[in-house]
Chains A and B, each alone.
Chain A
Amino acid sequence: EPEVTQTPSHQVTQMGQEVILRCVPISNHLYFYWYRQILGQKVEFLVSFYNNEISEKSEIFDDQFSVERPDGSNFTLKIRSTKLEDSAMYFCASSERGEAFFGQGTRLTVV
């Protein structure tokens, strides 16, 4: 069964460093999303992406965040200068016909 793949599964970075989280959506899907889950909290929407541009973003998705689809398969989330409060599980999702399929997540730890 097709699935959304995220790499790495766990990343540790120093505060102030840039990180790029990578996702390979399901191949025929056209809508892509990033979500964040701080430990012990609910899953929060960050951004949606369609037709090579952001279609919606939340208040969390400030200038420190950016998304890109650099080629036909990858979808990335970049955090320019990480803060301690960016430590969270980040989930990528892609959708077709209204159902979102989630990846297994990247656990980002900022130290």
Chain B
Amino acid sequence: AQSVTQPDIHITVSEGASLELRCNYSYGATPYLFWYVQSPGQGLQLLLKYFSGDTLVQGIKGFEAEFKRSQSSFNLRKPSVHWSDAAEYFCALSGGYQKVTFGTGTKLQVIP
């Protein structure tokens, strides 16, 4: 069975500080990995994805994520957080054309 774990339910960072959101997965092979962002009451916006190749992937809004097979991790990073980054972030995986399995999400609060 495939699963995604986001160990941090809620994270607070100061504006301008760096950010790292953790994601661990369980899957029998190399999965497709995704990070989505969701503002309250809104839909899911894809930040970035990893299918294969370079393990450091760049996304929109200055986000990046690194796939580490040995640690079964796909952590999301941003060097300098902006107040508009406050939202909920979901890590997700799929095995190709199979369903997408989401983590429980991490709520990001940005303080001035």
Give a binary string over A88-100; 1 marks a CB under 8 Å from any B CB, 0 the rest: 0001010100111
Contact B44 A98 (CB under 8 A): no
A25 close to chain B: CB less than 8 A: no
Contact B43 A105 (CB under 8 A): yes
What is the interface of chain A mostly: helix, strand, loop, or mixed?
A: strand
Supply 27 A–B pairs (Cβ within 8 Å), ascending by A. A33-B99, A35-B100, A42-B90, A42-B103, A42-B105, A43-B44, A43-B92, A43-B100, A44-B102, A45-B99, A45-B100, A45-B101, A48-B99, A50-B97, A56-B98, A91-B43, A91-B44, A98-B32, A98-B94, A99-B32, A99-B51, A102-B36, A102-B44, A103-B43, A104-B43, A105-B44, A107-B41
Give a binary string over B18-39; 1 marks a CB under 8 Å from any A CB, 0 the rest: 0000000000000010001000
A31 close to chain B: CB less than 8 A: yes
Within 8 A of A (CB), among B41-97: 41-44, 46, 49, 51, 90, 92, 94, 96-97
Give a binary string over A13-38; 1 marks a CB under 8 Å from any B CB, 0 the rest: 00000000000000000010101000
In the complex, chain B residues whose CB is within 8 Å of the CB of A50: 97
In the complex, chain A residues whose CB is within 8 Å of the CB of B98: 48, 56
Q: With A43-B44, A98-B51, A99-B32 in contact, is A93–B100 under 8 Å at CB?
A: yes
In the complex, chain B residues whose CB is within 8 Å of the CB of A95: 97
In the complex, chain A residues whose CB is within 8 Å of the CB of B102: 42-44
Q: A100-B94, A105-B42 are in contact. List 4 more A-B contacts (CB 8 A).
A: A42-B103, A56-B99, A104-B42, A105-B43
CA distance A99 to B93 in the complex (A): 10
CA distance A98 to B96 in the complex (A): 4
A54 CB to nearest chain B CB (Å) = 12
B39 CB to nearest chain A CB (Å) = 12
* 7 tightest A-B CB contacts, nearest first: A104-B43, A43-B102, A45-B99, A98-B96, A42-B104, A105-B43, A102-B44
